[in-house]
Amino acid sequence: MDIVLARLHGLRMKQSLKLVGQSEPELDLEALNGELESATAEEILGWTRDTFGDSVILTSSFGADAALMLHLVTRVLPRVRVVFLDTGYLFPETYRFAEELTKRLSLDVRVFSPAITAARQEALFGKLWEGGEAELEQYQQINKVEPLDRALAELAPRAWLAGVRSRQTAHRATLRTVEQQGSIYKIHPILRWDDEAVHHYLRANDLPYHPLRARGYRSIGDAHSTTATREGEDPRAGRRLGAKLECGIHLPRKGQDESRKSSGL
């Protein structure tokens, strides 16, 4: 690890910085991702810590294998702020799992909820998740996009860690280890991990899966749009809002470039 970190912070890393006026250095993502291509998750996190200090957040849904990223990240960045989006529609087991991991790993969890309660949403708009594309878009905006935007505004991180993996969706397969959204860098330490690597890490560190995992829920979001999946089926086949497999916060904003230069929001 020391050799790789030294290389990352050596001459070639300096070449990947471009000064923009008097502002903070802007990372040259092409050069940087080339440097990080062979780095381990721990090395990527070490670079994140050395580059951004405490100005880092980690988003977690406390889903099926959430314990992996929470444990992995806090070993390197013990004071990282964990952003938990509570839509108001999560499984009871998810809330209890979040409490369990928060205590066990001494997490600094920051909960962000929609500005409008679930009961009020349903009274005013009905069950948006059962509607057409316009209603589903409104559901995502109210329950996920707006709370996340508020979290980013309030916490003002320079870097955002996320546990997305390239095998999960077609969009995530286009991502690189480091992307950018405005002034925020989006970092994906386990992007290339497969299910076997995830299972090995959890087992080696005596970490639990989400309790619903044993009942066939391998990708877990809101209770009304999550179902169990069969062995051999795509885990995200159990996550549906209309035709969408994405949760909403890891997709590009409407009108933004969805290429590799996207942040993955």
Catalytic residue among 107, 184, 247, 249: 247
Q: Which residue has the higher pLDDT, 264 or 252?
A: 252
Q: What CATH number does residue 229 fall under?
A: 3.40.50.620
In a domain, 194, yes or no: yes
Residue 138, Ramachandran bin (φ over 0: left; ψ between -120 and 50: alpha; else beta): alpha
CA–CA gap between residue 203 and residue 197 (Å, rounded): 10
Q: Is residue 161 part of a domain?
A: yes
Is the residue at 18 inside a domain? no
Inside any domain, residue 126: yes
pLDDT of residue 172: 75
| Structural domain contains residue 185 | yes
List residues bridging with 179 in a β-sheet. 186
* Alpha carbons 241 and 249: distance in angstroms, whole number: 13
User: Is the pLDDT at 40 greater than 80, yes or no?
Assistant: yes
Q: Which has the minimum average pLDDT: 199-208, 219-228, 235-244?
A: 235-244
Q: Answer yes or no: 197 catalytic.
A: no
Residue 181 — very low, low, confident or very high, per pLDDT cuts 50/70/90? confident
Domain membership of residue 4 (yes or no) is: no
For residue 8, pLDDT over 90 is answered with no
Instruction: Please check the confidence at residue 262 and state whether its pLDDT lies above 50.
Output: no
Name the token pair of 68: 């992996």
Q: Can you read off the two tokens belonging to residue 125?
A: 């708009």
Residue 210 counted as domain residue: yes
Measured at the CA of 165, the angle between CA 158 and CA 104, to 5 degrees, comes to 70
Residue 170 lies in a domain: yes
Task: Please give, one letter per residue, the 3-state secondary structure of 73-91.
Answer: HHHHCCCCEEEEECCCCEC
The parent domain of residue 232 ranges over 41-238
pLDDT digits (tens, 9 = 90+) for 224-244: 999 877 666 666 565 566 555
Q: How many domains does the chain have?
A: 1
